[in-house]
Amino acid sequence: MSHSHEDHERTMSTDVRTTRRLSSVRSSLTTAGLAVTAMIGLSACASNAPQDTWQPAGENAQKIHDLQWPVFTVAGIVGVIVLVFIGVIVFRFRDKGQAIPEQTHGKAWLEYLFIAIPAVILAAIAIPTVGVVLALAETDDTECIINVTGQQWWWEYDYEVEPDGSICGFAPSAGEASPIITSGQVVIPAGTNVLLRGTSRDVIHSYWIPRLNGKRDMVPGRVHYLRLQSDTPGIYAGQCTEFCGLSHANMRMETVVLAPADFQRWLDNELEPYKSPAEGTLAKEGEATYITQCARCHQVNGLVDDKGTDDTSDDTVVVSYPDQFVFSGAAPNLTNLMGRNTFAGASWDLLTPECREDVWEASPEEFGEKYLAGVTEDCLNDIDLREWLRNAPAKKPMYADAELLEPTDGKTRGMPYLALSEDQIDQLIAYLLERK
């Protein structure tokens, strides 16, 4: 218990609003003081599990939280009363040789009373519940629309270009806006009401960033909405919560909240034209390898195949056709891979543990700078990325067995084993490191 008390203190320093409510939970719990309620209540003053459902960091999650803590409290109190009552009965009416009691079926008024009490309590819960349900379904105040599409086992985001040519209310500093496609991490501006329009390409997935909002299933053929909003820059973790097949556990997502100025920088960077690596570098070799090995599924916007010659007449724009190789018909867009710091459905980090901690633990003020630095060569998590390129299905289960791909006509579900040589992997990593 003393440990959790410390946690209290820490939470209070970061988020006063939350803690004020938490302490009221605590005070009611101290009076009640029974194991189960305590366990539920205590998780309110949790330390830093990134998916803690009792640490709202945005307006929507806060609405849910304001509703759930009184309900948990009432449920806890009722539970304690019932359990204490049973305890009293157990001790008071043990067989101590007393006479056989009256054979009565009870008293009507008592029964009505015990129907009325829960009815009143539940009615009291029902009214605000309906209110919050309706409030969370509001879409009028939307300032930014991002489309999110789930597939086995990663999330793709594309940013809607608004009719006025802006994205999320931010106009590009130079040039025209075009749809931005990312995956794994979605970047949103702080203080903006974001509306995710979600669907799926194969099975049902569920989008859930606990600290920003409850979950919402993303169903193929349907478009579902989810509100996201946060005033505090930082990374918020989430996890697909609708069972979606083999690698369900490896389908994660992260929402990155950037201060408006940082978001503008991020946006401009995303819209920058493609820069081919300098001639003669390892990365340039990597570009060629990328075109032969990766580009049939993974799009890099603006990538041009110069056929290894200086003659520009036979240059072709490289367009990938994942629909011919992957069952879901999509593969992550790698244009700015190193601008985000996770890969493979946000299951592994592109940053080394130290660098990752540096970004994740950064204060809201410093966060934007650190995040926008992207993945540098020093910070690159070489181990996981290499393992992935060597044999992806071995790292993340993806129905690699050819026999099981019969129903999909050999189309893979996830990244297949590519039999890349170590040299090719070196080249590719050099090339990918420049994608930011």
Site residues for another protein, 337-356, by CB under 8 A, read 349
Taking CB under 8 A as the rule, does residue 249 contact another protein?
yes
- Lay out the site mask for another protein across 87-126 (x = CB under 8 A, - = otherwise): --xx--xxx--xxxxxxxxx---xx--xx--xx--x--xx
Taking CB under 8 A as the rule, does residue 377 contact another protein?
no
To another protein, the closest distance from the beta carbon of 135 in angstroms equals 9
Judged by CB under 8 A, the chain residues 162 through 191 that form the site for another protein are: 163, 178-179, 181
Q: Which residues contact 186 (CB under 8 A, 6 or more apart)?
A: 146, 148, 155, 157, 196, 253, 254, 255, 256
- Number of chain positions touching another protein (CB under 8 A): 133
Cα–Cα distances (Å) from 122 to 73, 77, 111, 129, 264, in that order, read 13, 14, 17, 10, 47
Taking CB under 8 A as the rule, does residue 260 contact another protein?
no
- Of residues 53 and 281, the one with the C-beta less far from another protein: 53
Cα–Cα distances (Å) from 209 to 205, 235, 255, in that order, read 13, 10, 7
Contact 408, 257 (CB under 8 A): no
With CB under 8 A as the contact rule, which of the stretches 20-28, 31-39, 261-269, 365-373 interacts with another protein? 31-39
Among 17, 20, 24, 85, binds another protein (CB under 8 A): 85
Phi, psi of 321 (to 5 degrees): -125, 70
Taking CB under 8 A as the rule, does residue 215 contact another protein?
yes
To another protein, the closest distance from the beta carbon of 289 in angstroms equals 23
Give buried/exposed letters for 309-332 (b at 16+ CB in 10 A, else e). Answer: eeeeeeeeebebebeebbbbebbb
Among 12, 64, 271, 372, binds another protein (CB under 8 A): 64
With CB under 8 A as the contact rule, which of the stretches 66-74, 185-193, 281-289, 415-423 interacts with another protein? 66-74
Alpha-carbon span 29 to 187, nearest angstrom: 38
- Of residues 151 and 293, the one with the C-beta less far from another protein: 151
- Of residues 122 and 261, the one with the C-beta less far from another protein: 122
Among 217, 262, 270, 285, binds another protein (CB under 8 A): 217
With CB under 8 A as the contact rule, which of the stretches 18-26, 256-264, 324-332, 383-391 interacts with another protein? 324-332
Give buried/exposed letters for 175-184 (b at 16+ CB in 10 A, else e). Answer: eebeebbbbb
CA atoms within 13 A on the CB side of 224: 18
Among 15, 23, 71, 362, binds another protein (CB under 8 A): 71
Angle between helix axes 422-433 and 382-390 (nearest 10 degrees) is: 130
Other CB atoms within 10 Å distance of the CB of residue 404:
11
- Of residues 282 and 362, the one with the C-beta less far from another protein: 362
- Of residues 17 and 112, the one with the C-beta less far from another protein: 112
What dihedral do alpha carbons 121, 125, 126, 130 form, nearest 10°? 170
Taking CB under 8 A as the rule, does residue 239 contact another protein?
yes
- Lay out the site mask for another protein across 273-312 (x = CB under 8 A, - = otherwise): --------------------------x-------------
Alpha-carbon span 26 to 18, nearest angstrom: 12
Among 130, 173, 363, 422, binds another protein (CB under 8 A): 130
To another protein, the closest distance from the beta carbon of 185 in angstroms equals 14
Taking CB under 8 A as the rule, does residue 13 contact another protein?
no
**Residue 219: strand, helix, or coil:** coil
With CB under 8 A as the contact rule, which of the stretches 15-23, 76-84, 169-177, 367-375 interacts with another protein? 76-84
Q: State the alpha helices, DSSP H only, in 305-421.
A: 353-360, 364-372, 382-390, 392-395
To another protein, the closest distance from the beta carbon of 229 in angstroms equals 15
Alpha-carbon span 250 to 28, nearest angstrom: 39
| DSSP H or E segment with residue 189 | strand 185-189
- Of residues 4 and 264, the one with the C-beta less far from another protein: 4
Does a cis peptide bond (omega within 30 degrees of 0) precede residue 153? yes
